[in-house]
Amino acid sequence: MSIRLTTLSSCAGCAAKLPQAKLAQVLRDLPGIADERLLVGASTSDDAAVYQLNAEQALVQTVDFFTPIVDDPFLYGQIAATNSLSDVYAMGGRPLTAMNLLGLPDEVELDIAHTILRGGAEKVQEAGCLLAGGHSIRIPEPVYGLSVTGLVHPGRVLTNAGGRAGDILVLTKPLGTGIITTALKREKGTLELEAAATRSMCTLNTPGAVIAERGLVRATTDITGFGLLGHLGSLCRSSGVSAVIHAAQVPALHPGVMELIAGGCVPGGTKNNLAHAESFTDFANATPDMRYFLADAQTSGGLLLCVPPQNLDETMAILAEQNTLCRTVIGKLTAPAAKAILVEV
């Protein structure tokens, strides 16, 4: 391969998102939509929109794309597709059709573009989804992702607004993709770190659909560019609750993640996330490195499940059957407090 894809972009993966504070400004004063068929729109900052078709079916619609997170074009395609499909699973749905979104600068060879699309197509096929076409443009930095449509039962939709005080927070993927991929871009990472990150980013969040269909959780979100704190903060606001996070129980993709943070391998997206999270998070005695870890901008991260205590054992059993990368209790939802999130060390 003649080009390192990550050198063509100013920021990588989901860290390319607009920061939450800036996004709020962009979206301000846009007209609201009042239609009883739109079960989930933009108001709750959810992962996807949901539109009811009939008593048994609702469409889940999402779109997601980002700049290269790795240099391998096939892996880049797989990661971007996995990330796009995740939004449907986070709403409790199953992907039905997908459309490619591809933007490339002129210097990217056509064979590389083909390989990116092939990686995405194989991941779409793994999800049991149909790739139905797409759109491509010429732009200064490469981007790739999918527009995905899924199906969900209207009574089984999972949103950011469903969490209740007492729900247990369960995470299905360890954190650290932003830290690791930043280290790799700076040529400071190892093959072991790279393998841990790519395995996580290429793992589909299919358990979201299974758990939703069995009615085991009240709310779910996937952890991507805004980090654990950013996505949990949105869930707390939409649900009218607060949360306690046990920092020592939050898993890392590799023991070396904290060493990388100490060495300064922190992406700009993670720094933006932490600056935003400080307004709604009580960090207590958490170290600066731990704060960066909890705010790390994830690419194709795991699901954060809000599980009623009586459903925890069954939920954990399903996660084990589905071979999730982790199934870790990291805290719980609580009654509303002065800060949305309390980090206990």
Residues known to be catalytic: 14
Among 175, 169, 174, which Cα is nearest to 295's? 175
Among 101, 108, 54, 105, which Cα is nearest to 77's? 101
Task: Tell me how far apart the alpha carbons of residues 275 and 233 are, in angstroms, rounded to a whole number.
Answer: 13
Amino acid at 188: K
Checking DSSP bridges between strand 281-282 and strand 38-40, what pairing results, if any?
unpaired
Cβ neighbors of 151 (< 8 A, separation 6 or more) are: 57, 58, 59, 60, 93, 94, 96
| Structure tokens given for 305 | 């499940």
Task: Tell me how far apart the alpha carbons of residues 312 and 112 are, in angstroms, rounded to a whole number.
Answer: 44
Cβ neighbors of 107 (< 8 A, separation 6 or more) are: 3, 8
Question: Are residues 281 and 341 in contact, defined by beta-carbon separation less than 8 angstroms?
Answer: yes
Among 90, 91, 82, 67, which Cα is nearest to 125's? 82
Helix (H, G, I), strand (E, B) or coil at 55: coil
What 8-state DSSP symbol labels residue 70?
S
| Structure tokens given for 156 | 């089984």
CA 159 and chain centroid, separation: 14
Task: Tell me how far apart the alpha carbons of residues 182 and 11 are, in angstroms, rounded to a whole number.
Answer: 9
